[in-house]
Amino acid sequence: MTDLHWLPTVSDWRQRQRALTTAMPDPWAEAVSLANARIGFVLVNALDETLRRVFPTPPQGLQTKPIRLAVLGSSTLTHLLPAIRVAGVRRGLWIDAYENDFGQYMQELADPASGLHGFAPTAILFAFDAWHVSAGVTAGMDAAAAADALQAIVARIRDNWRQARASFRCPIAQQAIMPLHAPLLGNNEHRLPGSRAAFVARLNAALREAAETDGVDMIAVDDRAVRDGIGKWHDPGLWHRSKQEVAPTAAPMYGDLVGRWLAALQGRSFKCLVLDLDNTLWGGVIGDDGLEGIALGQGSALGEAFVAFQDYARELSRRGVILAVCSKNDEANALEPFEKHPDMVLRRGDIACFVANWSNKADNIRAIARELNIGLDSLVFVDDNPFERDLVRQELPMVAVPDVSDDPVGYAAALADAGYFEGLAVTDEDRARTGQYQGNKAREALKEAVTDLPSYLRGLEMRLIARRFDRVGLQRIVQLINKSNQFNLTTRRYTDEDVLAVLDDPRAFGLQLRLLDRFGDNGVIAIVIGRLREAGDLYIDTWLMSCRVLGRQVEPTTLNLIASEAAKLGATRLIGEYIPTKKNAMVRDHYPRLGFAPHNEVYCLDLRDFTPAETFIDVVEE
């Protein structure tokens, strides 16, 4: 894939791009935000045009060093410059880009009066096409002639590097040569000394070695083309038509590869990976499914996929990326797999900062940054839940939040393709980093911070579909009743027959509640069973809810529904009960929070005084 698949789709992108002007309060922040949307090459070009109009010079107060990048090469590169500039803005970098006159890079390097010297670059990228560097190489060559040809081109390229460094004293990158030549022998292409395909492979290896010696960085389009398929990167028809070696459709990815190099030079790569737990590091919900119930490890494809993702995260930590955990869970539940599950790859010691509580994730991520003493703009947050992702993006736009699906097989690729943790060198200190953070960490409880939650909730456009129990929903109702442990007031387990009995009982009601929001359908997320007792009392026999939708006002909205159902049965008072278990501490204060008064081991709410709570959820009764 050459599209920027880890970035979120922004629905009103076009209007916002058209509306970008210097007259806005913070046009640079808006530009950075627009550059962080999932857009193809046409819109990248459109954004670049706007950006160059709005920011012909670096914006005032820019936090990064402005960059003058010269892209020197042998073929058409013009179409890559917009993508490079936009990739810079994606990382808060302002880039002015220069391209040599077609084919004239050597002359311009040598001539102090050239446009290149006038431009005075602060960074240089050499981007040679595969035909240019393999000119003269032919299948008729013997081994000695091919070796000479290789040596000659490496020497020439190193000479370009030397000249560039002598003139401009700036960082230099060499784009690897694209592996686009068609093979002649086949599987054993390497045996043909004069094969251009084999030549490019050998040249890329030689360039990497030379770059190590000469202090030059690589832009690995060859590795990228292997991952994506060369057909995604190169279109032979276009090459013949316009001498564009990189197809315009691949330009956004090409630009991003360059952008992450430039950002890394300024120390602006991301440093810390913040991980959700339930359905991100393992399948299922630890608080409900328990240690034996979560999907992790051998025995299922899903379990193995989570192991593979954990392995990738641990490998990242071993090269210096800090790991943190941010999960909505009771801390004891969240820690249990780390301490006891035999298939966990990540251990508590791999996590520099471990936060599991029921506060909102934006606040918790702020706390993680504070505790690790790193900037919020160095955090990457991975969560399978689109609600949490969007909350964090909205509250903390500087935190990178890759758009992953709910399938763990894609998580490692999303992180790798996004290039968040681009590194130019690895030090011993990097390899020891997690240990340091771990040692320094004070495991204090996290303070609550203030977040503008109401405006967020309003924007979610939530709808709660309330249905009486029915046979269609039977399976899911029974499953929830028997599986939910945490948000479950009474933890009563019922069979199919028990549930069907409620359906037929004129003195009882059962409610199944489905929550929809602008991200889609969360499915049935709450179950309530009410039973009429003597003297107008309605006893809440069962009230359970999926923890996924905590903090979204589902609870008071559900109470409104219970009150109205109770009134239909002629009740004047609600009786709620909390039966403590090992897992349901989180709802200990559920009824007092909703305005119930304690009364002989249970809680009461007089319906004659009850005013339904106003919430941001629209209720649809079916």
18 sits near another protein (criterion: CB under 8 A): yes
The residue among 79 and 318 lying less far from another protein, judged by its C-beta, is 79
By the rule CB under 8 A, 10 interacts with another protein: no
Binding region for another protein (CB under 8 A) out of 43-51, 368-376, 529-537, 607-615: 43-51
16 sits near another protein (criterion: CB under 8 A): no
Cα distances from 167 to residues 104, 123, 216, in angstroms, run 17, 12, 15
Q: Examine residue 14 and tell whether it contacts another protein (CB under 8 A).
A: yes
Q: Tell me which residue of 95, 84, 108, 110 sits closest to 219, measured CA to CA.
A: 84
Which residue number, 227 or 241, has a Cβ lying nearer to another protein?
241
Looking at the Cβ atoms of 53 and 156, the one nearer to another protein is 53
# binding residues, another protein (CB under 8 A): 21
- Proportion of the chain in helix, strand, coil states, percent, rounded to 5: 45, 15, 35
Q: Kindly give, in sequence order, each residue whose CB lies less than 8 Å from that of residue 209, ignoring residues fewer than 6 positions away.
A: none
Does 238 sit near another protein (CB under 8 A)?
Answer: yes
Nearer Cβ to another protein, position 104 or 249? 249
For another protein, which is the closer residue by CB, 40 or 551? 40
CB 602 within 8 A of CB 577: yes
Among 4, 7, 46, 141, binds another protein (CB under 8 A): 46
Interface with another protein (CB under 8 A), residue from 6, 41, 128, 338: 41
Q: Report in angstroms how near the CB of residue 109 gets to another protein at its nearest.
A: 26
Q: How far is the CB of 73 from another protein (least distance, A)?
A: 16
Query: How far is it, in rounded angstroms, from Cα 453 to Cα 504?
Result: 41
Pairing relationship of beta strands 617-621 and 462-468 according to DSSP bridges: parallel
Phi-psi region of 469 (alpha: psi -120 to 50; beta: other; left: phi over 0): beta
Q: Which two tokens stand for residue 620?
A: 């649809």
Least Cβ distance, residue 123 to another protein (angstroms): 25
Asked if residue 4 lies in contact with residue 413, where contact means CB atoms within 8 angstroms, the answer is no
* Binding segment (CB under 8 A) for another protein, from list 39-47, 122-130, 220-228, 485-493: 39-47
SS3 label, residue 393: helix
User: 62 is written with which tokens?
Assistant: 């820019």
- The DSSP string of 145-192 is HHHHHHHHHHHHHHHHHHHHHHHH---EEEEPPP--PPPSS-TTGGG-
Residues 49-78 close enough to bind another protein by CB under 8 A: 49-50, 78
The answer to the question of residue 156 lying near another protein (CB under 8 A) is no
List the one residue from 25, 60, 240, 439 that touches another protein (CB under 8 A): 240
Instruction: Establish if 45 lies at the interface with another protein (CB under 8 A).
Output: yes
Helix (H) or strand (E) holding 120: none
CB within 8 Å of 239: residues ≥ 6 apart: 245
Pick between residue 53 and residue 533 the one whose CB is nearest to another protein.
53
Report the nearest approach of another protein to the CB of residue 17 (Å): 9
Helix (H) or strand (E) holding 505: none
Please state the closest distance from residue 42 (CB atom) to another protein, in A.
5
69 DSSP 8-state letter: E
243: contact with another protein by CB under 8 A: no
Does residue 247 interact with another protein by CB under 8 A?
yes
| Chain residues that interact with another protein, rule: CB under 8 A | 14, 18, 40-43, 45-46, 49-50, 78-79, 237-238, 240-242, 244, 247-249
